[in-house]
Amino acid sequence: MKLLLVEDSVRLQRSLASGLKQQGFTVDQAFDGEEALEFLKVNKYDAIVLDLILPKVDGLTVLARLRANGSDSHVLILSANDQTEDRIRGLDLGADDYMVKPFSFDELVSRLKALNRRRSGVKNPVLEIDGVRIDSVSRIVSFNDLTIALTRHEYELLEFLVRRRGRVFSHDQLIDQLYDASSYVTRNAVEAHISSLRKRLKATGAPSLVKTRRGFGYLVE
Amino acid sequence: MYSIRTKLNVSIISTLIVVLSFTAVFLHTRIKNHVVEVYDSALYDKSQALISLTELDEEGLEFDFAEDGVMTEFLGGDSPEYYQLWENGERLLIKSPSLGESDLPYTGTAEKKHRTADILLPDGRNGRLIEINFMPRVEVDEEDMAGLSELPQPKLITLVLARERVSLNKTLFAIRFTIIAVIITVLMVSTLLIWYLIGRGLIPLSSLAQQVSGIDESSLHARVQNEGGQIEEIAPIQYQLNHLLERLQSAFEREKRFSSNVAHELRTPMSELRTLAEVGQMVPDDPKQISAFFTDVGEISRQMENIVTTLLELTRSEAGLLRSDPEDIELSRFCDGVWMQAVNGMDACKQLVRQIPADLIVSTDREKLGMILKNLFINAVSYSPEQAEIQLSTELQNNQVMLSVKNIASDLKPEDLVYMKDRFWRKDKAKGDQNHSGLGLTLVEALARILQLDVHLSLDNNNVFIVTISGFHVVAN
């Protein structure tokens, strides 16, 4: 799940980004509204964690411009403003969720995952396909009660494709989804992850799930 | 609780009832007396007619009115009248045939006097009588006079004349009825008119009440209108209410700003601490990251400590726990020392341009002045452009020194000056710089108050922000 974290506090950015990455999110960081808008011009995010009081361009303006541009990314406002009218204004402008600082990191993660489930239209946090069970909460993949050990990127790749069954994704789209903007990754890395994922699935007797459409990319049918 | 309208109505109508009742009684009495007077006058005239028809001649008393066919009303019939005459109050001379066996009452009045009174007539009707004394007229012909040795001597005669008073009673009843009817009508019409007019008169007050009751915390921007033009009685209430609303709105907005600012200044570091703690637990085996987290925790703690310390100072100052302990201070050297402390540890390379006479000595509290200047210097350095100069100068006025700190503040707007002394106010709440919490100028103001100094903020046309502190007592110059 790819996130844009927009927060002007350097310390909060540092700890939040670290924690979210630990939880398997791909995180881009913006420290002011202007920078956030730049990120949004070139990248597509599953969710945006947005502070309201930001230097240069405030959070509500960022949100309004995002929605005006037709973006359907989920937006979770993370703000110190706890007044009801602030929440209403944020939600009315198109935010999907609102959390008041100070907050529980675990709750933030859960809310982001819930937003992701809402996005894919699958409400059950446990995905199942051809006997392969993907628990998106514990991030454990199993087949016939056998746990399949996957790396973070392999898991992200599998969950991403399973949540979007039937859709083909190119190398670039998958790179964009799995890595943050500051990473330099080649298409070979994606191929390596796909290959490794298939092998690990096969090792437990599970179907490989990820199919190749030559010239187009990969999909889970 | 009572209604002004009801109270006014009840008071005015009660007063009106009393006034009209007295008027009615007075009128009735006057009219009744007059009517009775007229009636008695008619009775008196009739008695005079009887008297004029009574004469004394050589044959004795003659009562011409008693002759047949002269005054038939005394004979009897449906509505007879009565008379009775006595001589010297003792001897009955004559009485009307209508009396039959009955007598009229005789009381005895002085000569040439008369008395009127009510009476129950022999036939059972209410009547009115007049009792009058007179000397009969002596009527002797010249021819007869020759044969008389002396003229007959008249004696005092008392006449009592009585007649029914039914017509009088009817007239009095009609008068009474008319007065009561008029009073009741006037009262009813007045009540309606008073109710309506008071209601109309109280419309501005009702409108005021309606407007005021419609105001709550969400509509403090509303102002009370003096509907129906400038009403003298309402204008001061309207003015005071609007003034109160303005102050209330301002206090609410200030409170709201304060809550919002507190939320930002305190919630954000708390979020940072909480996230650092929660995320730190997730990476126990990453010493580099844990170390960075601890560094952040240290910074946050210092930042929160600064806020708490400043808030405590403010609270102590407001509670009157801080006292001024004045001493002689060589201002120029003192400012240099504070400047060095303020910029120590700050990355900015800014210069203090000081224009303070070297021998200027003022009397004030060293520690508190140091805190004031340190806050002003830190603000000036933090919010002025890179390489900017901070100017510090003094001016002597009436043996008092005015100290000014000037720096360019490009982002500042004149309207910001109103809020700058508010707690937690910051031009840009976004935390580019986490060393400021928006309490500096609030503390400066509070400390200056203890030192009996005035702090004035201004912004000139070139966006130079000037903090002027006035009221220093000069010891030597």
Q: Is residue B82 within 8 Å of B105, Cβ to Cβ? A: no
Say how far apart CA B450 and CA B17 lie, in whole Å: 68
Higher pLDDT, B346 or B416: B416
Write down the CATH number for the domain with range A2-120.
3.40.50.2300
Report, as an integer, the average pLDDT of B210-221.
86
Q: Minimum mean pLDDT among A121-125, B4-8, B161-165: which range? A: A121-125
Within 8 A of B283 by CB-CB distance, chain A residues are 18, 22
Report, as an integer, the average pLDDT of B21-47.
93
Q: Is A107 an interface residue toward B (CB < 8 Å)?
A: no
Q: Is B244 an interface residue toward A (CB < 8 Å)?
A: no
pLDDT of residue B225: 82
Which range has the top average pLDDT, B36-45, B69-78, B200-209, B394-403? B36-45
Percent of chain B residues topping a pLDDT of 90: 45
Identify residue B39 by its one-letter amino acid code: Y
pLDDT of residue B434: 62
User: Over 80: is that where the pLDDT of B263 sits?
Assistant: no
Pull the structure tokens for residue A91.
């939600």
User: Over 80: is that where the pLDDT of B147 sits?
Assistant: no
Write down the CATH number for the domain with range B323-476.
3.30.565.10
What are the tens digits of pLDDT across the range B166-196? 889 999 999 999 999 999 999 999 999 999 9
Q: Which residues of chain A have pLDDT under 50?
A: none
The confidence band for B228, taking pLDDT boundaries of 50, 70 and 90, is low
User: Over 70: is that where the pLDDT of B39 sits?
Assistant: yes
Measure Cα distances from B29 to B19, B22, B118, B175, B222 in Å: 15, 10, 17, 10, 61
User: Over 70: is that where the pLDDT of B259 sits?
Assistant: yes
Q: Which CATH class is domain B4-173?
A: alpha beta
Across the interface, do A81 and B264 touch by the CB < 8 Å criterion?
yes
pLDDT of residue B29: 94
Beta bridge partners of B407: B465
Identify residue A89 by its one-letter amino acid code: R
Q: Which of B259, B283, B432 sits opposite A8 (nearest CB)?
A: B432
Phi/psi for A93 (5° steps) reads -80, -5
| ipTM entry | 0.74
Chain B residue at shortest CA distance from A31: B432
What are the tens digits of pLDDT across the range B80-90? 999 999 988 88
pLDDT of residue B108: 80
Query: Which residues have a Cβ under 8 Å from the Cβ of A213 and sit 6 or more positions away?
Result: A168, A219
Say how far apart CA A110 and CA B170 lie, in whole Å: 104
The confidence band for B268, taking pLDDT boundaries of 50, 70 and 90, is confident
CA distance A52 to chain B (A): 9
DSSP class of residue A56 equals S
Q: At what angle do helices A10-22 and B287-318 cross, to 10 degrees?
A: 140
Say how far apart CA B371 and CA B377 lie, in whole Å: 10
Beta bridge partners of B468: B404, B456
Q: Which of B267, B293, B428 sits opposite A15 (nearest CB)?
A: B293
The confidence band for B70, taking pLDDT boundaries of 50, 70 and 90, is confident
- Give the dihedral sign, CA A103/A107/A164/A93: negative
Query: Which residues have a Cβ under 8 Å from the Cβ of B46 and sit 6 or more positions away?
Result: B161, B163
CA distance B261 to chain A (A): 9
Query: Which residues have a Cβ under 8 Å from the Cβ of B450 and sit 6 or more positions away?
Result: B317, B322, B323, B324, B365, B368
Q: Can you give the residue ranges of every domain in chain B?
A: 4-173, 323-476
Say how far apart CA B394 and CA B362 lie, in whole Å: 11
Identify residue B33 by its one-letter amino acid code: N
Report, as an integer, the average pLDDT of B21-31.
93
Query: Which residues have a Cβ under 8 Å from the Cβ of B321 and sit 6 or more positions away?
Result: none
What are the tens digits of pLDDT across the range B272-311? 999 999 999 888 888 998 998 899 999 889 888 888 888 8
Pull the structure tokens for residue B298.
């240290």
User: Over 90: is that where the pLDDT of B391 sits?
Assistant: yes
The confidence band for B19, taking pLDDT boundaries of 50, 70 and 90, is very high
Tally C-beta pairs within 8 A across A and B. 83
Q: Is B268 an interface residue toward A (CB < 8 Å)?
A: yes
| CA A205 centroid distance within chain | 29
Tokens 């008092």 sit at which residue? Answer: B400
Helix (H) or strand (E) holding B425: none
pLDDT of residue B393: 94
Say how far apart CA B388 and CA A10 lie, in whole Å: 26
pLDDT of residue B348: 65
Report, as an integer, the average pLDDT of B58-75.
84
Q: Is B192 an interface residue toward A (CB < 8 Å)?
A: no
Which range has the top average pLDDT, A181-185, B33-37, B112-116, B346-350? B33-37
Q: Whole-model pTM?
A: 0.58
User: Over 80: is that where the pLDDT of B264 sits?
Assistant: no
pLDDT of residue A145: 86
Report, as an integer, the average pLDDT of B405-415.
90
Q: Is B59 an interface residue toward A (CB < 8 Å)?
A: no
Percent of chain B residues topping a pLDDT of 70: 96
pLDDT of residue A163: 85
Helix (H) or strand (E) holding A114: helix A105-120
pLDDT of residue B347: 67
pLDDT of residue A1: 85
Helix (H) or strand (E) holding B395: strand B389-397
CB atoms within 10 A of CB B350: 19
Say how far apart CA B50 and CA B54 lie, in whole Å: 6
Measure Cα distances from B35 to B22, B28, B119, B165, B170 in Å: 20, 10, 17, 11, 11
Q: Is residue A80 within 8 Å of B267, Cβ to Cβ? A: yes
The confidence band for B437, taking pLDDT boundaries of 50, 70 and 90, is confident
Report, as an integer, the average pLDDT of B402-412.
91
Within 8 A of B275 by CB-CB distance, chain A residues are 12, 15-16, 19, 103, 105
CA distance B366 to chain A (A): 36
Query: Is the domain A126-220 a CATH 1.10.10.10 member?
Result: yes
Q: Can you give the residue ranges of every domain in chain A?
A: 2-120, 126-220
